[in-house]
Amino acid sequence: MRTREYENMTVCFQLVDFLLQQAASPLFSDLTAAVDVLMVSEASVLQPFIEALAEAAESPYGCLLVGGRIVVATDRWWVLTARELTLLSTLLMSLPECSARDVPVYLPHGSPTVPHRLLTFELLRNVMACVICGPSPPLSELEREIGRFWMPAVETLKSVRKTLPRNIPHSIEVDANILGFILINTSTHRCLNSVSLIGASGRGQGEEQACQEKRRAVLRSFYTMVVGSYFNRGGEKSGESSGPSELSHQPTDTYIVCSGHKCYAHTSGKYQIFVLFAAKTPTFAMRSVTHKTLNLVVKDKSSPL
């Protein structure tokens, strides 16, 4: 017979396995220390639903995830530290599909010694509502109420799910030369990204998925190269490591040109953006396109950053 302790350890093993294979994950949170979010125009409609669920659970912590990315969350959920936000999202991605679950969690900053309960409810495939609460209420009690809470929002949830894998509304038209991007708010620790901005162009599903994985790998490599050398992260000071960071000034833009692609990075205040361009893109145009894309997304009323 499985004990509760055994089940808890199994959850931990699944999380560790997922972290070890994170390079193949559609998320970037392990790399950016910022939680992945989804940009949708329906966020304001869904916010009252997650607030109502959290209130029913007698908890200030609640969020709605689609494809592992946060769509809406309560104010207190956003108060969690970057480590807690990313660990929770990674944990949820590592677990197998389940209609409802009750998992003990330790918040490294908010509650390092006393466990809380993470309750999750699958509303639709790839759509999950979560709350963090104490000993009560029981999972079964909330599970009976899920239909009442979320049934009026089903069509909205289906619409939001269609945003995947683009991750931003189709109403936002980015430059056709952009193959992918990572946009980070270093203040709120939120990350918006996409490697599926263009259509499949006649490619099969398997071939398109391979293209997305390649773009993701290039962006991860570019981000790793730039952050910590050109762009400081987490309060690092210039001169702490060898290379470009020894410069007396703080660079705001950098780029690379390769045979198969080009990449451009820009930092402005609390925002950092890393863009993957098609090789045919004129090098002189990357700067203006990157800056325009940053302003386009950040200033949109549906921006989650």
Instruction: Convert the pLDDT of each residue in 290-301 to its tens digit.
Output: 999 999 999 999
pLDDT for position 108: 83
**CA 167 to the chain's CA centroid:** 10
Phi, psi (deg, nearest 5) at residue 254: -155, 160
pLDDT tens digits, one per residue of 74-125: 999 999 999 999 989 888 888 888 899 999 888 888 778 888 999 999 999 9
How far apart, in whole angstroms, are the C-alpha atoms of residue 146 and residue 229?
47
Per-residue pLDDT of the chain (305 residues; tens, 9 = 90+): 444 454 455 556 555 555 555 556 778 998 999 999 999 999 999 999 999 999 999 999 999 999 999 999 999 999 999 999 998 988 888 888 889 999 988 888 877 888 899 999 999 999 999 999 999 899 999 999 898 889 999 999 999 999 999 999 999 999 999 999 999 999 999 999 999 997 655 566 778 888 999 999 999 999 999 997 888 654 444 344 445 545 566 789 999 999 999 999 999 999 999 999 999 999 999 999 999 999 999 999 999 99
pLDDT for position 11: 54
pTM: 0.87
N residues, the chain:
305
How far apart, in whole angstroms, are the C-alpha atoms of residue 216 and residue 180?
8
Q: Which structural domains are found in the chain, ordered by start?
A: 2-162 (3.30.450.30), 178-299 (3.30.450)
pLDDT for position 92: 87
For residue 4, give the amino acid letter: R
SS3 for the chain is CCCHHHHHHHHHHHHHHHHHCHHHCCCCHHHHCCEEECCCCCHHHHHHHHHHHHHHCCCCEEEEEECCEEEEECHHHHHCCHHHHHHHHHHHHHCCCCCEEEEEEEECCCEEEEEEEEEEEEEECCEEEEEEECCCCCHHHHHHHHHHHHHHHHHHHHHHHCCCCCCCCCCCCCCCCEEEEEEEECCCCEEEEECCCCCCCCCCHHHHHHHHHHHHHHHHHHHHHHECCCECCCCCCCCCCCCHHHCCCCCCEEEEECCCEEEEEEEECCEEEEEEEECCCCHHHHHHHHHHHHHHHHCCCCCCC
Q: At a CB cut-off of 8 Å and minimum separation 6, what does 155 contact?
A: none
How far apart, in whole angstroms, are the C-alpha atoms of residue 233 and residue 235?
6
pLDDT for position 240: 44
What do you get for the CA distance between the two ends of the chain, in Å? 46
Token pair 């309750």 is found at 119
